Structures are given as C-alpha cells and as structure tokens.
Chain A
C-alpha cells in the first residue's frame, strides 16, 4: 500500500494546539508545580515533595467525598440511562408530536446549572415550594435542608430532571437510524417486543449510549454548581461531592498545595475512566465495521 501522507495539514492544528496549551496544559503544569510546594505567596514557597499527596490520600473527608461521588454518579447513570431509553422508545415517530416532544425534552438542557439549582431549591422548600409543600401535605416529612436522605433524593431527582433528556435525545437519534426493513423482518419472524428491543434496537443504540454514558459520567463526576446552589453540600457534609470539597480546600481554606495534589488525583481518576470509555467506543466502532 503506497499511501501518500501529507503532514503539512498538521500546521492547521497549530491554533488549536496553542489554545489548548494556554487553557489546559500550562494550568495543569502549574497545578503540578503547586502540588509539591507549600506556597504562602509567589515569593515565599517551600518544596515539600510528596507530602501533600500523602496528606490528601490519608484524608478521611476525601475518602467520604469520593465514596459519595461514586454512589451519586452510579445512581445517576442507573436511573437516567434506563429511563432515557424507555422514554426514547415511547416517543412518537412522525407527526407534530415529534417536534413538540423534542422541544419539551430540550428545555431542561437549555437551563443554566445555577438556575436549575435555584429552581429546585425553591421547588423543594416545605414552606413556599410547590414540590416540598405537596409532599408534606401528603403526610411525608420532607425537608432537604435538614434530612440527609431528603437532600440526596432532591439532588438526584434534580439531576434526572436536568439530564435524562440528553440520553433520550441521543437514543432517539439512534432509534431513528434503524431502517424499517429491520422491523418488518422481525414482524415476519414473529419476534416479541422484547426480542425487537434486545436484538435490533439495543445494538443500534449501543454507540450513542456509550457516548451518553460517558458524557453523563463526566458531568456527574464533576458536578458542582447544582448541589452547591441547592444544598450547599449539606446538611452537614451529606451532599458534599468531590469538586465542592476541592473548592473548600482551595478557595475556602486557601490550601493551594493540598488542593493541587487533590486536583491531580481527581484528574487521574477522570482520565482513566475516560480513556477506558474512549477505548470501548473505538473498539465498538471497529467491530461494527467488520
């Protein structure tokens, strides 16, 4: 195979490279520098080696925040993905219903994060919020500002409300790409609804689902604004997730060294998971080609 490669095209990538360098690589290098020093001000700083890493890795608050974060992200994925698929399956395929449902589904996605937090903060309040008031009227003692369980449920429901649409839209796009011939063939074979879902719809949705899961994983793993506005990480530290814990160390206590060490560990976790997902997506694509 004599493929001519023209490497001049790489010059066209240079602008992107500079933007990424300024917005990501240089700040990341700075974080690495900060993570091995005790910094009082730009002139007064001491090299401390891996001390911050050891301190952060042994920090119980970090372990708790990490466990909460993993439980939160898994719950989000376990609720949003099946729910998203189910909603996508029930959406109309033609007529005015398509545009109407698309607009309705896209609405939560268009709302800024802090506004979503504020909406749910007011909606969930027992005294003036519609949701909180109705739940209390039904005889259920609900107060997200005092009860950790209520706070968790509220944060989860908020995320489901905000982001399930993304999974729905992705799955719907996947479903629409299935030619009618597949369904006709299934009908001739007398396939049950479950068989149609299992052997036609699900495999066709696989690639979009992986992207959806990846996006939802990263977003929920780095979630900050919504729980911050809604519960402020409380009651106590019940809904303090990783990024909020990080902000408390970095901005609240101004412990730049430990915060930098913690950021790097956080970055490594996300890098590992994204790489695994990326590899899975690429391999799935290759398998489909074959």
Chain B
C-alpha cells in the first residue's frame, strides 16, 4: 500500500467516509428511509441528503480557500452546520 502514499490525515478522512457509509447502511436496515421534500427543491432520501451535504462541504472548503485567508477550520465548522441543516431540514 505504500504506493498510495497514505498520510494519517487522509486515512482518518477516508475512514470517516467509510464509517458514514456503513452507518447509513445500518440505519437504512433498522429504519428504511422515506423520500421527503424539505427546503431543497427536490424530493430526497437520506442518502441523497448525505451526498448533497458532502458535496456542499467540499465546495465550502474550496470556496473558503479561494476567497479568504482565514483559518480552514472555520470552513469545516460551516460545513458541519451545512451537513446538519441538510440532513435535518433538506
């Protein structure tokens, strides 16, 4: 695996993603998702909302790096709020 040039931070990052997917899988078996419509202009399932929030989080970080010099962890907090808002009310 050395050719993949792993670093501790990227390993944690991917572990989180994998754990999220496993968690979503278990959640789905325990209580299957019901498609619903929140503030987003489309009907979404739980998985759709997770995808939207992760994609949004990536763009929030990129936008932060492109337009400000402030610390990146502020963007991470914004992204976390975005994730909670989309998952709950999206």
The listed residue (A26, A36, A47) touching B4 by CB distance below 8 A is A26
Is A231 close to B, CB under 8 A? no
Whether A30 and B4, one on each chain, are in contact in the complex, defined by CB atoms closer than 8 angstroms, is yes
Whether A33 and B6, one on each chain, are in contact in the complex, defined by CB atoms closer than 8 angstroms, is yes
Is B55 close to A, CB under 8 A? yes
State the majority secondary structure of interface residues on A. helix
Q: Which residue of B lies closest to A47 (CB)?
A: B7
Write out the residue numbers on chain A whose beta carbons fall within 8 Å of the beta carbon of B58: 268
Whether A57 and B4, one on each chain, are in contact in the complex, defined by CB atoms closer than 8 angstroms, is no
With contacts A47-B9, A50-B72 known, is A33 near B4, CB below 8 A?
Answer: yes
Whether A42 and B3, one on each chain, are in contact in the complex, defined by CB atoms closer than 8 angstroms, is yes
Is A218 close to B, CB under 8 A? no
Is B31 close to A, CB under 8 A? no
A-B contact count (CB 8 A): 49
The listed residue (B5, B13, B59, B62) touching A30 by CB distance below 8 A is B5
Whether B42 and A42, one on each chain, are in contact in the complex, defined by CB atoms closer than 8 angstroms, is no
**Complex CA distance for A47 and B2, rounded to whole angstroms:** 15
**Complex CA distance for A30 and B3, rounded to whole angstroms:** 8
Whether B62 and A53, one on each chain, are in contact in the complex, defined by CB atoms closer than 8 angstroms, is yes
B35 to chain A minimum Cβ distance, whole angstroms, is 11
**Complex CA distance for A275 and B9, rounded to whole angstroms:** 28
Is B66 close to A, CB under 8 A? yes
Whether A272 and B10, one on each chain, are in contact in the complex, defined by CB atoms closer than 8 angstroms, is no
Whether A33 and B65, one on each chain, are in contact in the complex, defined by CB atoms closer than 8 angstroms, is no
Write out the residue numbers on chain A whose beta carbons fall within 8 Å of the beta carbon of B4: 26, 29-30, 33
Is A73 close to B, CB under 8 A? no
**Complex CA distance for A86 and B32, rounded to whole angstroms:** 47
Tell me how many residues of B have a C-beta within 8 Å of chain A: 19
With contacts A271-B55, A279-B42 known, is A29 near B14, CB below 8 A?
Answer: yes
Write out the residue numbers on chain A whose beta carbons fall within 8 Å of the beta carbon of B5: 30, 33-34, 37, 39, 42, 45
Whether B42 and A50, one on each chain, are in contact in the complex, defined by CB atoms closer than 8 angstroms, is no
Is A283 close to B, CB under 8 A? yes
Whether A275 and B10, one on each chain, are in contact in the complex, defined by CB atoms closer than 8 angstroms, is no
Is A87 close to B, CB under 8 A? no
With contacts A32-B10, A36-B9 known, is A57 near B62, CB below 8 A?
Answer: yes
Whether A37 and B51, one on each chain, are in contact in the complex, defined by CB atoms closer than 8 angstroms, is no
Whether A32 and B13, one on each chain, are in contact in the complex, defined by CB atoms closer than 8 angstroms, is yes
Whether A36 and B10, one on each chain, are in contact in the complex, defined by CB atoms closer than 8 angstroms, is yes
Write out the residue numbers on chain A whose beta carbons fall within 8 Å of the beta carbon of B6: 33
Whether A268 and B59, one on each chain, are in contact in the complex, defined by CB atoms closer than 8 angstroms, is yes
A136 to chain B minimum Cβ distance, whole angstroms, is 44
**Complex CA distance for A225 and B29, rounded to whole angstroms:** 46
Q: Which residues of A contact B (CB under 8 A)?
A: 26, 29-30, 32-34, 36-37, 39, 42, 45, 47, 50, 53-54, 57-58, 265, 268, 271-272, 275, 279, 283
Q: Which residues of B contact A (CB under 8 A)?
A: 2-7, 9-10, 13-14, 42, 51, 55, 58-59, 62, 65-66, 72
- Please give me the 4 A-B residue pairs with the lowest Cβ-Cβ distance, nearest first: A57-B66, A33-B5, A30-B4, A33-B10
- CB pairs A–B below 8 angstroms (27 shown): A26-B4, A30-B3, A30-B5, A32-B13, A32-B14, A33-B4, A33-B7, A36-B9, A36-B10, A37-B5, A42-B3, A42-B5, A45-B5, A47-B7, A47-B9, A53-B65, A54-B65, A57-B65, A57-B66, A58-B66, A265-B62, A268-B58, A271-B55, A272-B59, A275-B51, A279-B42, A283-B42
